[in-house]
A and B are shown apart, each in its own frame.
Chain A
Amino acid sequence: MNRDYAKYALRRVLQAIVVVLLAYVFTFVVISVLPGDPVTNTLRNPQNGFTEEEITRIVSYYGLDRPVHEQLWDSLSRLVVGDLGVSLRSGLPVTRLIGEVVGSTLVLALSALAVALVLAFAIGFGTRYLPKRGGQGLLRAFPALFLSVPNFVVGLVLISVFAFQLGLFRVIDSEGGAATSFAAIALGIPVSAQVAEVLIANLDHEAGQEYAAVARSRGLGRTRLFLRHLLKPSSLPVVTVIALTVGELLGGAVITEQIFGRTGVGSLVERSVTTQDLPVLQAVVTLAAVTFVVVNLVADLLYPLLDPRVRLAGGRSRGKAEVAAP
């Protein structure tokens, strides 16, 4: 098992590195190969007031006058030493721009995740404990509803009710605790739906398993059945789902930060898109991919340790054959 696990871990880590590098190349390709030349468009936009000389200088700095594969190579060599390039707008290093705002987004994303988990588990447990005709059906409809509401609508409603009408927080004080909490709720609600759906499905599945009936036939009560038997096998797959929601949290931050007037990675993206600041955009996408890959790598590496059923190295183990038949 241990050697198998080491092999598995090594393979997953190598895959993760490849995926990150490919993600960088992929965004590069999307940005530079797709029709339309955003960089020169931005530079030549009279509003930006670049002179012809400046344009030539910037173009040659980025090597935009050279073939695409050479640009890619340069870009990758810079990436390896941790240089993500320079903002086309402000001329500042991209790493510095991101460094300034990453903390705020991290706080928002983690609070949103907390909101999502609390909500999801509350819904999941509720479906087990509420009677079939009283509220359970309603509770089961929640994830579907949450999945159908655009997250900017949730944000707008929260602001309109809690900031404007009830005055619980002020939009101006966007980084304050209260404002952050509501932003986290707006971002967390759609995420909670995904987690809750899986949790409910697993709880239903496990409750219908033969072992649950057999445990009850031995005289186990409902609460103990739930806590000791159903909870663990139902929650384990949720680890994987939580890891997958990282993308949701980072993508959703673009809109949530804009609505709540926060400065974070999301609003940086929004600004970079409007100003066609491609180096920043590419760096943020790479960073998001790295985050996603790392979190999912950790989840994948953790899972075999948590769930005794998972066999590694593929194929059925012959463990059964070793044990003498009765």
Chain B
Amino acid sequence: MAPQDRLTLDRVEAPGQASAGALLRVEGLSVSYGDHQVVSDVGFALRRGESLALIGESGSGKSTIARALLRLLPQGIGRASGSVEFDGHDVLSLPERRFRPLRGKRIGFVPQDPGTSLNPVRTVGSQAREAAALLGGPGGHEELVLDTFAQVGLDNPRRVYDSYPHQLSGGMLQRVLIGLTVLPRPALIVADEPTSALDVTIQKRILDLLSDLRRDLDISLLLITHDLAVAAERADSLVVLKDGVVREAGRTAAVFSAPSSDYTRRLHADVPALNPDRYRHLRDREPAGGPPKIEVTGVTKSFTVDGRRLTAVDDVSFSVPTGTTHALVGESGSGKTTTIRLLLGLEEPDRGAISVAGEEVAGRSHASLRSIRRHLQLVYQNPFTSLDPLWTVERLVGESLDRFRVGTRRERADRVREALHSVGLGEDLLSRKPSALSGGQRQRVALARALVLRPDVIVLDEPTSALDVSVQAGIVEVLLSLQAELGLTYVFVSHDLALVRQLAHTVSVMHRGRIVESGEVGAIFDHPRESCTRALVDSIPVGAGAVAEGVS
């Protein structure tokens, strides 16, 4: 790696040198909301035709930087200082009137959530035509828009043109937005987590589209992402941010092969896709043997939606040996969630049998389900909604003990503390309410709540998908240690195959309500038989491997 490839925080370039090739230069950028500084003294440069990724977890200020570059900070609240030079213009000091011709035409923006990024009460076409009209030029905007829609891979441009945003899927909307962004042939695209609101298999296709367009149209890309693996795969250079400060910067291969900061190293270690065997020592133990803890046989469930019958779960069977983790994977709408709701007795199956620890779940009354629930617990996906905001941690964790009248008051209090300890939380949190906890702490509280009754089986419904990778790593570690210690059986629902590969023993792949493939995790991942399994496996970013090979 050549030294000049390294963009470090404190490097001062001689004027006129090296910056010649830079399309975008950011120096000493600080942004504050009110009195609160969220970005401090950030600097980087992006060369013409290249791509650069800003990587960081939530609160790192990466999206704020994107907005500052486009001067889209909330009016009256956000303030940016420092220097942002784009193509010879000083972006921050230009008057709005002179900056507006740059915005859109020379710098394009791809937002995070396509579902909220188009006006809901106007058709896609009218908004696209408006974007085209802003470029000036003679009429024929409609043709131009339809051509662009075709270019970004929308199968039926006419139909998309006439639709309202809510009538299209997230992937299609993101294609529309990318189309509108490349329409004026900008020199730079700022993409703010362009795929994080989309399904995994679609994420890859959208990123591929961005890469293709970039290459074909010679556009530079500033990619904002939380995903180190994605960044490694898509960007020429990386800037790692934490708490609004640059922790590391440089060419992708260099940062990857020899990260210089502890933070980057830790981040690297926490990304499941880059460390498939991280928890092998915890996962690979002698199986306990005996009969399976969970047996699901031929379960089917349909719902009636808008007068149509929809089979959410179709003849699903799987079994989970005691003390192991079984993963259910699939895209959204594949029937994962319905399956676990059936397992927990929250829904009644139309057909089939479900047994947990030898007891039949289906067809039971609420009262008799109660006894099963002592051994069967659930951790929800989003810890921001699964904890009553008015309750303290102590009450939240102790609720089931009180409900089942376990032991004396004193014993219950002790068990609450014990459960908190087992998930790595201190007693100082006992009197806090969820709003005073971080996302990771909340999910640990939810986990403690599931553990406090000492169940045999815990169902985990995407328990880390709302959390940052470093927080996720902590939770996964706790889960696996508890499993090793207590012999717990997990059913783990996820769309993140890299994570599944790290922690599960067996896996079932679901597609449109059916299990299309199941077996040992390693076998399924290394030799997927079905096309939808392959699509899921392919969606795991492999950037790490590719880059590492390129370096060596």
Interface residue from B130, B159, B168, B181 paired with A320 (Cβ < 8 Å): B168
Which of chain A's residues 208-245 have a Cβ closer than 8 Å to chain B?
208-211, 213-221, 228-229, 232-233, 236
Residues from chain B with Cβ under 8 Å of A323 in the complex: 159, 167-169, 172
B153: Cβ under 8 A from any A Cβ: yes
A36: Cβ under 8 A from any B Cβ: no
- Minimal beta-carbon separation of B109 from chain A (angstroms): 4
Contact (Cβ within 8 A) A210 B100: no
The proximity string for B residues 487-526 relative to A, scoring 1 for CB distances below 8 Å and 0 otherwise, is: 0000000000000000000000000000000000000000
B202: Cβ under 8 A from any A Cβ: yes
Contact (Cβ within 8 A) B306 A315: yes
Which of chain A's residues 199-213 have a Cβ closer than 8 Å to chain B?
208-211, 213
A323-B167, A326-B205 known; A211-B109 Cβ under 8 A: no
- In the bound complex, what is the Cα–Cα distance between A103 and B483 (angstroms)? 79
Interface residue from A233, A313, A315, A326 paired with B121 (Cβ < 8 Å): A233
Contact (Cβ within 8 A) B109 A214: yes
Contact (Cβ within 8 A) A325 B169: yes
- Size of the A side of the interface (Cβ < 8 Å), in residues, is 34
A132: Cβ under 8 A from any B Cβ: yes
The proximity string for B residues 331-375 relative to A, scoring 1 for CB distances below 8 Å and 0 otherwise, is: 001000000000000000000000000000000000000000000
The closest CB in chain A to the CB of B199 belongs to A325
- In the bound complex, what is the Cα–Cα distance between A313 and B304 (angstroms)? 13
- Minimal beta-carbon separation of B185 from chain A (angstroms): 13
Interface residue from B101, B108, B167 paired with A319 (Cβ < 8 Å): B167
- In the bound complex, what is the Cα–Cα distance between A60 and B99 (angstroms)? 84
Residues from chain A with Cβ under 8 Å of B108 in the complex: 217-218
The proximity string for A residues 289-326 relative to B, scoring 1 for CB distances below 8 Å and 0 otherwise, is: 00000000000000000011100010111111101111
B70: Cβ under 8 A from any A Cβ: yes
Contact (Cβ within 8 A) B333 A321: yes
Interface residue from A216, A233, A313, A316 paired with B103 (Cβ < 8 Å): A216
Residues from chain B with Cβ under 8 Å of A217 in the complex: 70, 72, 103-104, 108-109, 111
- In the bound complex, what is the Cα–Cα distance between A84 and B202 (angstroms)? 66
Which of chain B's residues 279-325 have a Cβ closer than 8 Å to chain A?
305-306, 308, 310
Residues from chain A with Cβ under 8 Å of B308 in the complex: 318
A-binding segment of B35-43, B112-120, B216-224, B541-549: B112-120
The closest CB in chain A to the CB of B102 belongs to A219
- In the bound complex, what is the Cα–Cα distance between A258 and B119 (angstroms)? 47
Residues from chain B with Cβ under 8 Å of A318 in the complex: 305-306, 308, 310
- In the bound complex, what is the Cα–Cα distance between A217 and B108 (angstroms)? 7
Contact (Cβ within 8 A) A213 B164: no
- In the bound complex, what is the Cα–Cα distance between A326 and B130 (angstroms)? 24
Residues from chain B with Cβ under 8 Å of A228 in the complex: 122, 130
The closest CB in chain A to the CB of B304 belongs to A315
The closest CB in chain A to the CB of B172 belongs to A326
- Minimal beta-carbon separation of A104 from chain B (angstroms): 39
Contact (Cβ within 8 A) B122 A232: yes
Contact (Cβ within 8 A) B202 A326: yes
- In the bound complex, what is the Cα–Cα distance between A210 and B205 (angstroms)? 23
A217-B104, A219-B101, A219-B104 known; A211-B169 Cβ under 8 A: no
Contact (Cβ within 8 A) A236 B103: no
Supplied contacts A210-B111, A233-B121, A325-B171, 14 more A-B pairs, CB within 8 Å:
A211-B117, A213-B72, A213-B111, A217-B104, A217-B109, A219-B104, A219-B105, A232-B121, A236-B121, A309-B166, A318-B305, A318-B310, A323-B167, A326-B169
Chain B residues close to A by CB (< 8 Å): 67, 70, 72, 74-76, 100-101, 103-105, 108-109, 111-113, 116-122, 127, 130-131, 134, 153-155, 159, 164, 166-169, 171-172, 175, 177, 180-181, 202, 205-206, 305-306, 308, 310, 333
For the complex of A and B, 9 pairs with smallest distance between CB atoms? A219-B104, A217-B109, A218-B104, A326-B171, A210-B116, A214-B117, A308-B164, A233-B121, A210-B117
